[in-house]
Amino acid sequence: MTARKLLPSRITLRARLTLIYGGLFLVAGVVLLGTTYALFNQQLGRPNLQLLTVKATPSPAASPAPDVDAPLPETDAMRWMQDQQRQLREAAATSLLTQGSIALGLVGAAAAAFGWLVAGRVLAPLHQVTETARRIAAAPAAGGGLHERIALRGPDDEVKELAGSFNTMLERLDRSFDGQRRFVANASHELRTPLTVGRALVELAMNRRTVSEDTRQLGESLLQINARHEQLITGLLLLATSEKELTERRPVDLADVAAYVVAQAGSLASRAGITLHDKLDEAPTTGDALLLERIVHNLVENGIRYNTQPDGWVRVVTRTRDDGHVEVEVSNTGPVVPPYEVPALFEPFRRLGDHRQITAKGAGLGLSIVRSVAATHGGWATATAREDGGLVVTVTLPAGPDDDGLRR
């Protein structure tokens, strides 16, 4: 393990503010302690101590001195006083530095702790803004969570101004997403009516006894075009619906959903000469059963439609992982897909080799709907290209209650 890995990945703003508070306090304390030491040392160095004279007391056994009031020699007294002054200065300076350093360390630690508390209190509104942004970003549906607002209390300062600007941005984004979804849904409904009427008129004209063969062929072509447009509108409506946040979740077993879809797709696979394989283990989750059915249906349908090999196959697998997720995996034979083009297949109207044209194979919304529905359920969809051709598409969802919970 390198030394770089032992270090923290980042230093938080609260820790940086604490280091700044503590560092400034220690610098100020060192300057104050140094100034005090200099003044104290200067005060002790002043020559304000007078020489002391000591009177000699004659000893009874000794002969009387000629002058009993004679002082000690001046050089000895000065030497003694200077030595005492030096010892006093050294003791006082040592005591000042030692005790002052200990006091400075203790008070510095207390100041750092107090700075940590103050920084946490000052940054608490920013943490509230961050948590709200994370909840909105983690919302499973596109645009989900934009209705949430930051209810920040406190003084009218810069942080509250930031929260207000964030709320304004959320409000505008929420209106934009709602308007987009309403437009797609309303347009899909409005366009479906004339297409239904047009299909009915064409079928009525084709069923006449006097209709010519050319008119019948023209009617069949018009019906095919009409069916493609209806498929496109249905896909757009489903895509708009799948991007809404789920209001109700119910236990669903992906194995049951996959078994139903495989049974329904049997006739389509037989007409295309494709063999269906399945290995369906229990994969309980929660969500909307119809939307989850649409995931498997789109994957199986794409696997059949884009299968070009004469002995092609489509395999459907469901399983439960050990990390609290379930998976449905659909793989198929087909044309070789360049790995760099795989991510683009999840975009609307994107198709391998033909990005914009609507063909009989579909409108290019299948994988887009799969990814959108998976995200709405708190999961994700991935795809990898097979070396021999075809794709392996895996949809991962959070695991739900077990089989007993489903039966309850």
Instruction: List the pLDDT tens digit at each of the 408 positions of the chain.
Output: 444 444 455 677 778 888 888 888 888 888 887 787 777 777 666 554 444 444 444 445 444 544 445 554 557 777 777 777 777 777 777 777 788 788 888 888 888 888 888 888 777 888 888 887 777 776 655 556 677 777 777 777 777 888 888 888 888 887 877 777 777 767 767 777 788 888 888 888 888 878 788 888 888 888 878 777 776 677 667 666 666 666 678 899 999 999 999 998 888 888 888 999 999 999 999 988 888 988 898 899 888 888 877 788 999 999 999 888 999 999 999 888 888 888 888 887 666 654 444 444 555 677 888 888 888 888 899 999 998 888 999 999 999 876 554 444
- The answer to whether 395 and 404 are in contact (CB under 8 A) is no
In three-state secondary structure terms, 325 is: strand
The answer to whether residues 332 and 265 touch, using CB atoms and an 8 Å cutoff, is no
* Paired residues of 318 in beta bridges: 280, 328
Residue with the two structure tokens 């009427």: 197
Task: Measure the CA–CA gap between 242 and 297, rounded to whole angstroms.
Answer: 15
**Tokens, residue 387:** 């070396």
Residues 6+ apart with CB under 8 A from 146: 136, 139, 170, 173, 174, 177
Q: What's the Rg (C-alpha) of the chain?
A: 43
Q: For tokens 């006097």, what's the residue?
A: 210
Helix (H) or strand (E) holding 169: helix 158-206
Strand partners, 239: none
Reported as type and span, the H/E element at residue 127 is helix 74-137
The span from the CA of 283 to the CA of 398, in Å, is 10
